[in-house]
Homo-oligomer: A and B are copies of this chain.
């Protein structure tokens, strides 16, 4: 006897439509494989007359309660996007004992404590594999496969839009604004691109990823965030000459009880596995005491990959009545035993515009020396109009020391054009 599992959709646009199509196409196969009969019972839309969807009109509704409080529905799939009302709807569904599947990193990262509390109270499941890295099974790998390990580092390319922009800037030597405009024209960047290019999206994802990896809630406000809007073609070109590739990385590190979480443009050596992840691909590099280095890569967005990840959660939830939840106390605040530092250690790429005059290099080098920072590499480009471009790459030092050096370098005639962290 197959098990009938009824689904309710919140929203039915591209993602919801993709999930509907997958479930339709795979229905009989999933019945055969897993003995589950998945049926979409209701789909909430803003307006039934205006809904453009292949989902049968008969199951559309404009009343959220038809999904959230419908005793027939077992699993609620949220495809609305944005924080509200998505988070409130998910909370209501969980309070009514319905398992929730979501890809909404913003609503989850900002309301995880409330959602988790509601899930625990009612015994419902809360699944969100598609919220980080799209179809990449990173959440389930961390919670189910690496559960016995001690993860000390995650580094992810988790935003396809910015990776597409940076990849094209590097290939074409183009400026940020030109590539962004083209990406917008192609539908690969939003008309208002801030969520992607300012790093908000990556920061929500890092908050989720680091919480799971480090077994302790990492709230969104702990994430240091810088976007790619200040990146120039000159930065990418200078980095390339020194063997580096620029990526917007979401980095989480844990050393004992000290945690750092930061999203910022980052230079990586050209032979780093993440350096070769181009275009709209996503990838997450993981390091643990036992697993050592590991990388998972795949499609971070797109209707079909997102549908695959969401339906993976749906099938998992349908087969597991007793939900598997992340094994950390999901308190509103992070574990008080942890310290979140903003004085992490990194290497720094510092690009200077200097007068083409004797003693300039010595002066700059002296500033680094004064902060106890040693130099790994230096490059000076031929002068133009009496100005020279000088690039230093430091050995590992602390963020605060780097900040002091940069402040000291900026002077009447010398100007720091850019500071980009270098990871390995």
Q: Is the CB of B314 within 8 A of A292?
A: no
Residues of A16-54 contacting chain B, CB below 8 A: 22-23, 26, 29-30, 33-34
User: Hey, which chain B residues are within 8 Å of A242, CB to CB?
Assistant: none
**Is A380 on the interface with B (CB-CB < 8 A)?**
no
Q: Is the CB of B137 within 8 A of A141?
A: yes
Which of B290, B291, B324 touches A319 (beta carbons < 8 Å)? B324
Q: Is the CB of A296 within 8 A of B293?
A: no
Q: Is the CB of A144 within 8 A of B135?
A: no
- Which among A34, A148, A308 has the greatest number of chain B C-beta atoms within 10 A? A148
Q: Is the CB of A299 within 8 A of B291?
A: yes
Given contacts A140-B140, A215-B33, A290-B304, contact A148 B298 (CB under 8 A): no
User: Hey, which chain B residues are within 8 Å of A289, CB to CB?
Assistant: 304
How many angstroms between the C-alpha atoms of A315 and B146 in the bound complex?
Answer: 9
**Is A178 on the interface with B (CB-CB < 8 A)?**
no
Task: Report the minimum CB–CB distance from A300 to chain B (whole Å).
Answer: 11
Task: Report the minimum CB–CB distance from A332 to chain B (whole Å).
Answer: 20
B-facing mask of A147-159, CB < 8 A → 1, else 0?
A: 1111000000000
User: Hey, which chain B residues are within 8 Å of A145, CB to CB?
Assistant: 129, 137, 140, 309, 312, 316
How many angstroms between the C-alpha atoms of A144 and B144 in the bound complex?
Answer: 10
User: Hey, which chain B residues are within 8 Å of A148, CB to CB?
Assistant: 22-23, 26, 30, 308, 311-312, 314-315
Which of B22, B299, B316 touches A293 (beta carbons < 8 Å)? B299
How many angstroms between the C-alpha atoms of A246 and B28 in the bound complex?
Answer: 40
**Is A163 on the interface with B (CB-CB < 8 A)?**
no
User: Hey, which chain B residues are within 8 Å of A144, CB to CB?
Assistant: 137, 140, 144, 312, 316
Find the B residue at minimum CB distance from A295. B297
Find the B residue at minimum CB distance from A278. B271
Q: Is the CB of A273 within 8 A of B302?
A: no
How many angstroms between the C-alpha atoms of A137 and B291 in the bound complex?
Answer: 10
Residues of A268-318 contacting chain B, CB below 8 A: 273, 276, 288-299, 302, 304-305, 307-309, 311-312, 314-316
How many angstroms between the C-alpha atoms of A254 and B115 in the bound complex?
Answer: 41
Other than the given A145-B309, A290-B304, A294-B297, 12 more pairs (CB < 8 A) read A30-B148, A129-B145, A137-B137, A137-B140, A146-B312, A290-B305, A291-B298, A291-B299, A291-B308, A292-B302, A294-B299, A296-B296
Q: List 14 A-B contacts (CB under 8 A).
A: A29-B150, A33-B327, A34-B327, A135-B291, A135-B294, A137-B140, A140-B140, A145-B312, A148-B315, A149-B308, A273-B297, A289-B304, A290-B307, A295-B297
